Amino acid sequence: MERSEIILHGHRVSYRVAGRGPLLVLLHGIAGSSATWDEVIPRLAESHTVLAPDLLGHGDSSKPEGDYSLGAYANAVRDLLEALELPRGTIVGHSLGGGVAMQLAYQYPERCERLVLVSSGGLGRELHAMLRAAALPGAGMVLPWLCVAGRHSVGRVVHALGSLGLRAGADLEETWRSFVSLEEPEARQAFLRTVRGLIDLGGQRVSAADRLYLTADLPTLIVWGARDPLIPVRHAHEAHERIGGSRLEILPGAGHFPHRDVPQRFASVLLDFVETTAPMPVDPKRLRRRLRAGPQPSVVGVRS
Of residues 160 and 172, the one with the higher pLDDT is 172
Amino acid identity of residue 47, one-letter, is S
- Of 56, 65, 13, 57, the residue nearest 184 (C-alpha): 57
> Domain 2-127+205-293 class?
alpha beta
pLDDT 10s digits, 198-219:
999 899 999 998 899 998 899 9
pLDDT 10s digits, 36-50:
999 999 999 999 999
- Catalytic residue chosen out of the listed positions 181, 256, 259, 261: 256
Amino acid identity of residue 220, one-letter, is T
pLDDT, position 36? 96
283 is catalytic: no
Strand-strand pairing, 49-53 and 112-118: unpaired
79 is catalytic: no
14 is catalytic: no
> CA 119 to CA 11: how far, in whole Å?
29
- Catalytic residue chosen out of the listed positions 34, 95, 119, 178: 95
In sequence order, what are the residues at sequence separation of 6 or more whose Cβ sits closer than 8 angstroms to the Cβ of residue 3?
14, 15, 16, 60
pLDDT, position 32? 94
Q: What is the pTM of this model?
A: 0.90
Bridge partners (DSSP) of residue 224 are: 250
| Domain residue ranges of the chain, discontinuous segments joined by + | 2-127+205-293, 129-200
- Catalytic residue chosen out of the listed positions 62, 228, 240, 259: 228
> CA 103 to CA 227: how far, in whole Å?
26
CB 117 within 8 A of CB 221: yes
Amino acid identity of residue 242, one-letter, is R
pLDDT 10s digits, 92-148:
999 999 999 999 999 999 999 999 999 999 999 998 888 888 777 766 545 554 555
- Of 29, 145, 163, the residue nearest 98 (C-alpha): 29
> CA 282 to CA 105: how far, in whole Å?
12
- The three-class DSSP label of residue 187 is helix
Of residues 46 and 160, the one with the higher pLDDT is 46
- The C-alpha angle 101, 169, 226, rounded to 5 degrees, equals 55
